[in-house]
Each structure stands twice: as C-alpha cells, then as structure tokens.
A and B are shown apart, each in its own frame.
Chain A
Amino acid sequence: MQFSRKHLLGLEGFSKEEILYILDTAKSFKEVLSRPIPKVPTLRGKTIVNLFFEASTRTRISFELAEKRLSADSVNFAVSTSSVKKGETLRDTARNIEAMKIDMVVMRHSAAGAPHFLSECVDAHIINAGDGQHEHPTQGLLDLMTLQEKFDDLSRLKVVVIGDIAHSRVARSNIYGLQALGAKVGLCGPSTFIPYQANHWGVEIFYKIEEAIEWADVLNVLRIQLERQQGGMFSTTREYFNLFGITRRRIAAAGKDITILHPGPINRGVEIESELADSDCALILQQVTNGVAIRMAVLYLFSGLPSANDSESET
C-alpha cells in the first residue's frame, strides 16, 4: 500500500489498513531483533534527533535502540542540557536543530499539540513520543501489536482501559487504535478520572471494576500518578486499590481468561497486585520488546523512504 503520511502525530484518524501495515512492518523488524546481529542498514545516512522536553526513560531508550538497530545517526536533546532553560521558544529550538540538517524529530513534550505545532514550523518528519495528555501513538501501536500476537484478529476483542483516563495519552491512543481495528473499548476508573463527555468516543464506561472485568477480554491497566491525589481527583491509594485494583481474586471471580497490559512503570499494590503483574496473563515485558519493533517500523515508514513493498511492485 501507499504510505503517504509525513508525520506520526497521533492515531486519531488512522485507518485499519494503515495500522495493520505498521503492525506488519513491525513484525518483520521484530524478526530482525532476534538475529545474532540485530541491526539493518535501513536508515543509514538518516539523522534523527530525540527531542525530549519531559523526563522519560523507557520511551527514550526504546526509540534510541530502534534508531541504532536501523543504523540511523541519532542525537539526544534533553531538557536539562538544552537552551530551553535559557528561554528559547520551541519554534526556535526546532528551527536551530533543523538548520543542522535533521531528517526526523522524535518528540516528547508536556503540552498537548506540541508536535502538531512543530510540524508547522519545520520540514523534518515528526514522530510524537507523547504530547501532554493527548496521544502516545507508538505506545498505542505496541499495545495493538502485543494483542495481535495473542489474538490475531482484534475485531471481536473487548478491551477496558483502567485508571486515570482524563490525564492519559496512552488511553487516547489506545481508544483510537483499537477502534480503528474494530475492537470494542471500555473505560473504567473513578468518575473524576473519566473525562467530560467521554461517551463521545463511543466507549463503554464502567465505575465498578467487577463489571469491567466481566465485560472484558483484555485489561489495559494505567499507572496511577500519585500527584493527582493532591488535586482532589481521588482520595487515597488505599481506596483506589480497594475499588479499582486488579487482583487475582477479582480475575478469578470472572471465571475466564483475562489478558493484562500495562504501559509501565508499575505501581505494585496500587493499580495492580504484585503477583498478578508477574503472572502469565500479564504481557508487560512482551510490550516492551514490541516497543522497539514498533518504533523501528514507525521510524522507517515515516522517514520518507519509498517503502519496500512499493519498490517491489514497481519492478
């Protein structure tokens, strides 16, 4: 297929075909990762900057690994070492970086829409590595890939995202990605965590975890950010665990197989019982492995290179 998008800003608006194409590409890169020398020359000569305005360890490392596996030249730009603290605007920072002939920018920013804004300022291809409470498209894609490996067809799947939906970019990318593939999505959490007019997404909303588990095939458990407690969004982590914690007892009560995802890092004993996080039904480490493959696929497909399938069909 023709993959014509220049930037990956979010999964909203992506078609089923586009997403499946990215997942297929990731599958072949995952095979690369299992080789003795897990490296291909695909992006040799391409220069990528990882522009991280917000602290991130795992996403940044995952992107960096993906870049190295693809033989791209990459540089890191982290907020603490940057001129941002000297009062430079995002636009100036980006244009300066671009003047150094950068092909792609992988960006993490605390403001929703920051990558959209950046894409208006510079010519480079932009990959959103998380923008505020908006989207985290590569996380959404790696969740889809992990589910696809287990279930193959996602169109009959029911996935409940549990936790602080209002402030979660992972939740939004999951909703858009899952729905594009035909899966049904539910949201579950304290009512203060369910954003205003969330029903416009066409999702099921649960305020009782037992009902959510009863309905679901998959639970995507979000990390609870403890600072929300101060904002009056929920009472205590103890009460959260009592009301919404994912436990073996609750899973057993549903009397069926349940698959668990978690974008990490885990708060053991807050949103999920420690033993359950380590059990076979949790695909958490598989998600991390798939993250590298997904980011390789994304970097390749959004690099502007003609895709392999297209060149094959031309010859």
Chain B
Amino acid sequence: MINPVKKAPRVLFKQATVVDPESGKEWRSDVVVEEGVLKGTEQVAAGGFDGEVVDTTGMILCPGLIDMHVHLREPGREDEETVRSGCQAAMAGGFVSVCPMPNTDPAVDNAEIVTYLKKQAQDLLVDVFPIAAVTLGRLGESLTEMGDLVKAGAVAFSDDGDPVATADRMRRALEYASMFDVAIINHCEDKSLSKQGVMNESAVSTSLGLPGIPGISEDVMVARDIQIAEFTGGRLHIAHISTANSVALVREAKKRGVRVTCEVMPHHFVLTDEAVRSYDSNFKMNPPLRTAADVEAMLVGLQDGTIDVIATDHAPHAIEEKQVEFDAAPFGIVGLETALGLVLKHLVEPGVLSLPQALAKMTHAPADILNVQRGRLKVGAEASITIFDPDAEWCVDKKNFVSKSKNTPFDGWELKGRVKALYNRERLWTA
C-alpha cells in the first residue's frame, strides 16, 4: 500500500539539500512551488506560507527522476502490472516519469493506444510518456504513423524485444523519425546469433549447459545501428547496453559526432552471470547478465559519459510464469523499486559517480533524449521534484513491493536511500 496523492498547487519544502545534477552544485535552501510552478530554490521562504509545508531537513531534493524504459503490461497483461500499479511502483522507487515500452497486446502502434495510456494516467502524479512501436505490430515491416503518434504523446520509437531486424528498415526508421526529432530506441540483438539462448555465453553457460546468448549478438547490431545513424543523421538510443564491446563502439561513435546515446540497467552494473549458477529465473533477463569485465566496462562507461542514462527495464512477470525451469521462464525482472537504492549503494557510495553525476543519468539526460520538459530545477517552469533520504539503509523485501509482480534478483539486499516525497503535475505525495 502507498499513501494517497494530494492535489497541491502550493508547497513549501523546508530546509532541503538541493542537488542540481546539471551544474553539480549542492546547497541548502527552502524550495517553493506555486500553482505547480517552481518559484524559488535559493532562499528562506517568508513566514506564514499559505499551502502545504513539507519538512525536508537532511533530505536530498533533486529534479524528479525519470525511468525511460519500463513495461507496464497494459493493455494485455493487467494481471502482471497496470498503468496505475506501475506508476505506484515508480513512486515507491522515487520516479515521477516513466516511459512504457510498446510490447503490449495489442502493441502501441497507433495514436488511439497512446491516447488510452495517457488517459489511464491522467489523474496520477507520475507522467506516462509512451514509447511507440517503430513498425506496425512490432513486426519489422511497415512504419507506424509516427507523426500521429508524436502528436498523441509518444516520445520515442522502439520495437523493443523484437529489434528492427533489417538494416534497411532501421535506415528508413531513423530517417523518418528525424522529421519529428525523436529517437529510435533499439534493443540490439541479432537473433540469428542469440537463437534459443537463455543466459550469457561464457564459461558459466558452458559449465551449466544452458544455451548461451553471445555478447556479439548485441555488438554486431550496435555496430550496424551506429553506422546507419551516422549515415542518416538520425537519433539512435541503444537500450540496455550490456557488453564491454558495445560500450566501446558507442564511445568511438560519440567521438565522431554520431547522434547516439545509450542506457544501462542497475543489474548490468551490479551482477554477473555467475549469479545464474543457482538456476534461479530471477536472474534471467535479456540482455543477460554478463561477465565481470563487462560490469567493469559499464562502470567506466558511466564515469566517462559514454553511458548517458540509467533506466530499469522494469519487466513484471506473473509468479507462475517465473517459477519454472530456467529455460522456460520469460526474460525480465522488476526494477522500479530497487533502482535508486542500487545506484546510491553501488555507484555513489563507492565513489564510481558523484551524487549529481548519478542523478544526471536519471533526470536531465533522459529528458533531453525524450524531449520532455522534465529533469531540471528550473525556476518558472513546471515543478517536478524527487526528495529522498540519502542515508536511510533498508533491506529489500519483495513482499513489500508495490508493483503487482515480485520477480526481483535483489530480495534481501541491503540498499541505501529511501524516497520521502515526490512532486509532479501539481500533485504531492509523501511516503
């Protein structure tokens, strides 16, 4: 259960530690919101404030967090997650905006479904910024009506788990999408190489006898898409990067000025394929957990800016679908409620990233890729705020998840940082 959200046009956040990820600055101040608009972030508010007052002493106040890669399962699998339950899980994890992927049933390939998703979220604090399909039915053939979809509210295009298989279709998608200045997000996987694979192909898969998904299945498509993006000038965003070679390809491409960005998921920078030795299907996702060398490359990529975004690939699955043989289980884990804790515990605490650097990858970096007016503390603009206690230590207990699904590999993990309050769309929520 989760506290109710209040309509609150005027809010005063007292004594916050404000972190601006973009400038890297951090300061103590009251923060004032009036009529949903950010008014002041740098002074002590006058007494007798007429509105909600939230004591944020000792708390971090930053731009509202954005998760640009989630699966909300609506329409089609409302037993696993809905727009509403997924948005509540997002709130529990500190996110004020989420981008659901279009691999629903039916797929998000026309404006009607985008409108439907927006309608499902209209009363929520959390923004739902849908990502629409590149091709009709995500079948890799006819391009969707991107103009219409953008008008309805789609912020990017992706065929998600079914990557755009032919180079020609990818070329046309990048060319066509550039008319609307939106990115094509590709799940880079050459399925002729990954075949029936269920985990990373490595010494571990060799010893476990599980069919492998080689790193090259990702690398060859990343390389292909970068070449096509360079040729077309289109904007390419690589979903859930997981291999050292792919990070190197993106790094080189960025140096050449190719318009490419990429994201990494927490599980790909904290876990390796060694975890699969348990045959626990909560360690099965696609792309799969890779090797220690790949994890190291993720950390370097995060540090040097090659990796722009941290997202979750929140993929709820029904317990009966996951409680099966490893081969038979679907790919994917939930992530919304553990991401911030993993980032603070495994990136910020050991000093891989500073707090502002880490938050940048969950705020203005995704906002810029998606072209949404979020991710910054801009006086005079619509207020979108996440407030969390950076020092709170807690233990993951999947029974307490707000999400309808509990398929996490992090049950029992000790994490850091708990969400205390969120503000977005003139709504206030306190945990």
| A residues adjacent to B (C-beta < 8 A) | 12, 89-91, 109-114, 116-117, 121, 131-135, 166, 169, 172, 195-198, 200-201
Chain A to chain B: the 10 pairs with minimum beta-carbon distance, closest first: A134-B209, A113-B279, A133-B209, A200-B203, A111-B327, A111-B325, A197-B203, A112-B209, A195-B206, A116-B279
Q: Does B214 touch A at the CB level, under 8 Å?
A: yes
Q: Does B142 touch A at the CB level, under 8 Å?
A: no
Q: Does B160 touch A at the CB level, under 8 Å?
A: no
Q: Does B88 touch A at the CB level, under 8 Å?
A: no
Measured CB to CB, the closest approach of chain B to A110, in angstroms, equals: 8
Check A111/B328 contact, CB under 8 A, given A89-B323, A133-B209. Answer: yes
In the complex, how many residue pairs between chain A and chain B have their CB atoms under 8 Å apart?
Answer: 69
State the CA gap A117–B206 with chains docked (Å). 19
Q: Which residues of A contact B325 (CB under 8 A)?
A: 90, 109, 111, 113-114, 117
- Which one of B205, B209, B212 lies within 8 Å of A135 (CB-CB)? B209
Quick check: A112 and B212 within 8 Å, CB to CB?
A: no
Quick check: A112 and B207 within 8 Å, CB to CB?
A: no
**How many residues in B have their beta carbons less than 8 Å from beta carbons of A?**
21
Q: Which residues of A contact B214 (CB under 8 A)?
A: 196
Binary A-proximity of B327-338 (CB < 8 A = 1, otherwise 0): 110000000000
Quick check: A201 and B279 within 8 Å, CB to CB?
A: no
Quick check: A131 and B209 within 8 Å, CB to CB?
A: yes
11 A-B contact pairs sorted by A residue (CB < 8 Å): A12-B207, A111-B326, A111-B327, A112-B208, A113-B325, A116-B279, A117-B279, A133-B210, A195-B205, A196-B205, A197-B202
Q: Does B304 touch A at the CB level, under 8 Å?
A: no
Measured CB to CB, the closest approach of chain B to A243, in angstroms, equals: 23
State the CA gap A72–B177 with chains docked (Å). 69
Quick check: A172 and B209 within 8 Å, CB to CB?
A: yes
State the CA gap A111–B211 with chains docked (Å). 10
Measured CB to CB, the closest approach of chain A to B257, in angstroms, equals: 35
Q: Which residues of A contact B278 (CB under 8 A)?
A: 116
Q: Which residues of B contact A91 (CB under 8 A)?
A: 323-324
Check A117/B207 contact, CB under 8 A, given A196-B201, A196-B212, A197-B202. Answer: no
Q: Does B168 touch A at the CB level, under 8 Å?
A: no
Q: Which residues of B contact A196 (CB under 8 A)?
A: 201-203, 205-206, 212, 214
Q: Which residues of A contact B320 (CB under 8 A)?
A: 89
Quick check: B201 and A132 within 8 Å, CB to CB?
A: no
Measured CB to CB, the closest approach of chain B to A206, in angstroms, equals: 17
Q: Which residues of B contact A109 (CB under 8 A)?
A: 325
State the CA gap A67–B323 with chains docked (Å). 30
Q: Which residues of A contact B209 (CB under 8 A)?
A: 112, 131-135, 169, 172
Quick check: B323 and A132 within 8 Å, CB to CB?
A: no
Q: Which residues of B contact A201 (CB under 8 A)?
A: 206-207
State the CA gap A198–B209 with chains docked (Å). 12
State the CA gap A32–B281 with chains docked (Å). 43
Q: Which residues of B contact A135 (CB under 8 A)?
A: 209
Q: Which residues of B contact A110 (CB under 8 A)?
A: 327
Measured CB to CB, the closest approach of chain B to A274, in angstroms, equals: 30
